[in-house]
Amino acid sequence: MITETHMERQDERYLTACGLEPSGCIYFDIETTGLKAETSHLYLIGYAVKTASGDDKGKIDKKDKDRQKEKNRRTDPSAHIEEEGTWKIVQLFAEKTPDEETVLRRFADICGEYRTVIHFNGDRFDIPYLEKKYAEYGLPSPFGRMSTVDIYRRIRPYKAFLALERLNQKTVEKFLGIRRKDQYDGGQLIDVYRFYRDRLSPDPEGDLRKLMLHNYEDVLGMFSLTKLLSYSLAIEAGKKEECCPSVKLARRPMSLDGERTDELRISYRLPVPVPVLAQSEMDLWGVRLSEDVCEIDVPVREGTLAHYFQDYRNYYYLPEEDRAIHKSVAQFVDKDHRVKAKADNCYVKKQSRFLPIPKGAEDAEEAYPVFRETRKEKTGWIELTDKLLDTLLQDEDAAGKYLRLLLDSADAAKNKAGRRKAQKEV
């Protein structure tokens, strides 16, 4: 078995923002000769762990680092200071097939020192593969006592939001602007390993470098992939009651048809900065994540909408006035000018400015009259009165409640779409 060790730096804020203690985490990635553990071999495990202070080779002197932090604060008080730590990437390489068990034992011993295992799509492949290998050798799996963080699963709900066609590691690294020296994928390297293992390689040293480089960059890349967790953290931060958003009314750019409308802009600070600007359009509002700020833009709807009464049997409809009135009042209206109301015409109309209230916002619907274009329209609208606007502009609690309504509605739509996709796959 060959063992190689590298020292690298990582911004640990993204782990701590997820409630993880960096010193208790271990990243890992495996290389195999196939997808099925029963018919293939494990030939390489790469893992990364935070080094103890005594192992911190090449670590920046603490005084120098503190001086740099203080300089950054003086030049730009709002600048983010990366909380870097030194991490050790270790690769366990099976030169021949019998070394597989040695690699497995060594990795299990290492995992015994950590609480959380971090990986990319490991819940689906790496962990099940290794568990079958441990069972094959009659060895206990190290994963039973560990919590797991699958970066792939954490970011999968935000695939469309990030405009990613695929979610394989190299595609995501390209999104983050990471350039790799490695030019191969795992499938292409299977024959390279077999030739190396069987001593048929014309360039064994060169082939060993290819194998090690691919795995090393996969493990190193996960440091950057961890930053993708900031997108889910950003949305979750807006749902917390302690979130203190600011609100302002802004003018939207003029549209192609020459119309210009207002929009309500809700913004709040993020727990950690996002690595790449991301923006997306929901059904009724847009979101933009840039550095350490999230901005929600809600277009203000101007026009005439109807407020529908639920108990239409107690109302009469006045065709000439295009509105419904309660029967206690309708008794004073000439019978020729009234008809019994139906569900679709039991309304009063109003011309004003409106904000969307997502479906399921029962509390808001109890507090404000809800308007719709048609009775069956799923989205409700509340009138943006001067009083409501002042409340949103000045009251962080009120702004926070409205923000949570929007974010919760996005989650509901995302989950519904996910269920439809799963049903189609079945």
Cβ atoms 276, 175 nearer than 8 A? yes
Edge-to-edge strands, sheet with 339-340: 323-326, 315-318, 339-340
pLDDT digits (tens, 9 = 90+) for 159-192: 877 888 888 888 888 888 888 888 878 888 999 9
Paired residues of 91 in beta bridges: 4, 46
Q: What is the mean pLDDT of the chain?
A: 85
Q: Residues of 246-284 as b/e, b for ≥16 C-beta within 10 angstroms? A: ebeeeeeeeeeeeeeebbbbbbbebbbbbbeebeeebeb
330: exposed, middle or buried (C-beta count within 10 Å: 0-12, 13-18, 19+)?
buried
**Whether the predicted pLDDT of 27 surpasses 90:** yes
Per-residue model confidence (pLDDT) at position 395: 92
pLDDT tens column, 30-67: 999 999 999 999 999 999 999 875 454 434 344 444 54
Alpha carbon distance 269, 271 (integer Å): 7
3-class SS letters over 245-306 = CEEEEEECCCCCCCCCCEEEEEEEECCCCCCCCEEEECCCCEEEEECCEEEEEEECEEEEEE
Query: What is the predicted pLDDT for the residue at 252?
Result: 66
Give pLDDT, residue 162.
82
Examine the pLDDT at 418 and tell me if it is beyond 50.
no
DSSP annotation of 22: G
Structure tokens at 254: 């003029």
Q: What is the pLDDT of residues 362-393, one digit of tens each?
A: 566 667 899 999 999 888 899 999 999 999 99
User: In the predicted model, what is the mean pLDDT of residues 147-167?
Assistant: 87
| CA atoms within 13 Å, Cβ hemisphere of 63 | 0
Residue 28: burial class (beta carbons within 10 Å; 0-12, 13-18, 19+): buried
Compute the distance between CA of residue 340 and CA of residue 325 in angstroms, rounded to an integer. Answer: 10
Q: What is the pLDDT of residues 93-113, one digit of tens each?
A: 999 999 999 999 999 999 999
Query: What CA–CA distance (Å, rounded) separates 294 from 287?
Result: 7
* pLDDT of res. 56: 44
- pTM for the structure as a whole: 0.77
- The per-residue pLDDT for 108 is 96
Q: In what order do the strands lie in the sheet with 293-299?
A: 246-251, 262-269, 293-299, 286-290, 278-281
Q: Which residue has the higher pLDDT, 205 or 159?
A: 205
The type of residue at 426 is V
> What CATH number labels 2-235?
3.30.420.10
pLDDT 10s digits, 228-271: 999 989 989 999 988 889 999 987 665 555 565 789 999 999 99
Q: What is the pLDDT of residue 73?
A: 41
265 is written with which tokens?
């802009």
